[in-house]
Every structure is written in structure tokens, then in C-alpha cells.
Structure 1
């Protein structure tokens, strides 16, 4: 079924606007490409303990906005499945199940939830407005951080969870929120220009 069949042109995601007749093959290609982006973004990191600072949340937000809720959620789940299977897709060196149940577990679950949330908002036009895109990205990051810190609280207690799982990431999260919203606005400008020129 085409990705854009349930979307009107007014609220179609970026992908559905650029490739409105995409079917199963396109969806599979997008899932693979998205998982590769998530893997690459995991390797761009500043080493912190117990959770490294990576570019993954930026990748999650952009994938969510560009793909829409179902495809973005599927992409993140495919990525997580690769990690559980033992492929070296995560930020840390621990293999598969060991890593996904470790300190980063809450953040990884947050990736999937945030991707679906951001995609859902994009399907309602939030990706086309600078203010709404920024707000959606902030919501997505808040979900990731909340679930991440909640899991760290189970492991280490609330005070330490805040100190190691939230406090060091404020500035980077703000920067990635701004950058993600800017990337989406730039992408939409390119699409609009091409549409106007054709």
C-alpha cells in the first residue's frame, strides 16, 4: 500500500511528499537506510559513564519527522532488533541483549516511543512550521530523557540518575533540538522550491 494513501497533501510527511507512490520496497529501503543512520549516529559520541553522549536522538527525531509514525517506529525497532541479534549497531561495546538491558535501556526504548510521537505530529503538519517542528523535537527529546532517567533511577537511584543521565546532556539536547528542526525546515524549503519550479 502506498505510504501516502492515508495522508492528504496538506499533512503528508516529507517522505510521502517526495515519493507519494512508495510501496513495500521503498519502505524496506527506508528502514534499512534509517537503521544505518542510527548506527552511524551511535558511533559519533562523547564518552560519558554510564550513558555515552551520541548523535542518535537527532537521528531519531529527523527519521520520525521525515518518515511518519509507522515507518519511523518500524525503523527504530529494526535497529534495536539488529542490536539484540548481536550486530555492532549500539554505541557501546557490549553485545546484544547485555547492552540493551544495561544503563542505556530506557533511552533505547525512548527512541522508539519518540520516533512514533514525532512521526504522528509530522503527519499532522508539525514538521512544516518552524515553531511546531521545534516543539515536536523538544517533546521527542523529553520522552527519550524521561524514559532514560527513569531506568537509570531503577539501577542507581534518582539522584545519581539525574547527575549522570540528565544533567550532562542539557546543552547537547538543546543543540540537537535546534539542529533537527532546522534540518527539517531546510528539507521542506528544497521540496517547495522544486515543486514550484516543476
Structure 2
């Protein structure tokens, strides 16, 4: 008798695909809601910084680290589509295309790219990596996405919309660095805990 596993029937395969799709939809909706909640929490406004500080960046980085690049892009796409459709899901309750006319336009555009980049980098962490190493590497992924994607596009958006020089926008953006280091740390610790508890999340990303 052959030791090979029996082939799955078409009905079983259809059920597996259906369950997988349903899980993905639930995760995408849940993380889009998380990003919205973090965007709408009371923001910190600093006089020298034109864009308020929220927990939205934390949620975006966490989405990429947990869901992987494909589902992270879909999550941010859903979030942006809802906001552009008129639902007040952006920071300080803003909505619609008007958000792209403000100083935060570059940051908003950067979020899907940053989340996908984090997903790609975290997906390359070896499965054998210990908890401390995984937290450190996930932090590095979040910091890289922030520095290479969010900051350049955010600075460009501020310079464009506020008629600032590149140097002036760079200085304004520097005020976010301490808080973003904390957000990267929180995202790395949280993502590592979630993926250790639910390892299949990453394998299906």
C-alpha cells in the first residue's frame, strides 16, 4: 500500500480556499479598523510640527509585520478607499481627497508602501530566529521602512503643501523621530508576540 497521502477532493480544496479567503478578509478588515482607531485617537500637536502625532504609524508598521506584504497592501488600500469615499478615518477626523491637499499627504501616500516593505523584510527573518533576535530584526524592518519610505515622502509632502524648503521640512520631520523609535519598538514586540502565538499568519502571507 502506498504511503503517499490521499489527494484532496475538489470539494475539500474548495472549502480550504473559501476558509482561507474568509480569514484574509477578516484580518484585512480588523487591521484596517485598527489603523482607523489609531488615527482617530487624540493627537499630539507640537507648534513646530505641522502634522499631528498619532499612533497611526505604529498600526501601519504592525500591519505589515503581521500580515505580510500582500495583505498589508490590501489593508491599507481598504483604509484609504474608505477615507477617500468620505468616511472620517484619517487623523483628526479628516476625510476625502482633501487629506491629499494637506501637509500629511506624503505620509498618507507612504503608508501602503511602508507596510508592504515591512512585510517583505519580516518575511525574510529565519524561522529559527529566537524571540530576541526576531524582535531586533522586526524593529530594524520597521525602522528601515520609516526612514526609507515614510520620512522621504512625508518630507516631500510637507515641502510641497506648505511651501517649505527641503531643509525646513527635514527639520520639521525630525521632531517625529523619538516617537517613531518607540512605535517601531512597540510594533516589533507586538508583531513577534502575535506571530509566535499564530505562526500560520506569516506562512499564509
- 2:152 aligns with 146
Greater Rg by CA: 2
Tell me the C-alpha RMSD between the 2 structures. Answer: 2.3
In the aligned structure 2, how far is the partner of 1:84 from the partner of 1:122?
A: 29
User: Aligned in 2, Cα 1:38/1:131: closer, same or farther, shift over 3 Å?
Assistant: same
Conserved 8 A contact 1:76-1:112? yes
Q: 1:77 to 1:126 in 2, by over 3 A?
A: farther
Structure 2-normalised TM-score? 0.76
CA–CA distance in 2 between the matches of 1:126 and 1:180?
Answer: 18
1 CA distance for matches of 2:144 and 2:54?
18
For structure 2, the residue ranges without an aligned partner over 5 or more in a row are: 1-16, 200-205
Q: Which residue number corresponds to residue 185 of structure 2?
A: 178
Secondary structure of the residue that 2:167 maps to in structure 1? Answer: helix
> Is residue 35–residue 56 contact of structure 2 (8 Å, CA) maintained in 1?
yes
Using the alignment, how far apart are the partners of 2:93 and 2:57 within structure 1? 19
Matches within 5 A, 1:4-153: 22-44=19-41, 45-48=43-46, 49-125=49-125, 129-142=134-147, 143-153=149-159
Q: Deviations over 1:169-188 (max 9, x none)?
A: 11101111111111122234
CA–CA distance in structure 1, aligned partners of residues 71 and 157 of structure 2: 26
Where in structure 1 are there 5+ consecutive unaligned residues?
1-19, 193-198
CA–CA distance in structure 2, aligned partners of residues 21 and 130 of structure 1: 33
The alignment covers a number of residue pairs equal to 173
Instruction: Assess if the C-alpha contact under 8 Å between 2:122 and 2:137 holds in 1.
Output: no
- Mapped partners of 1:126, 1:84: distance in 2: 38
Q: Distance in 1 between matches of 2:153 and 2:92?
A: 19
TM-score scaled by length of structure 1: 0.78
Q: Report the more deviating stretch, 181-190 or 106-115.
A: 181-190
- The match for 1:162 is 170
Aligned 8 A contact 2:68 2:118 in 1: yes
Whether the aligned pair in 1 keeps the contact of 2:89 and 2:95 (CA below 8 Å) is: no
Give secondary structure in 1 for the equivalent of 2:24.
helix
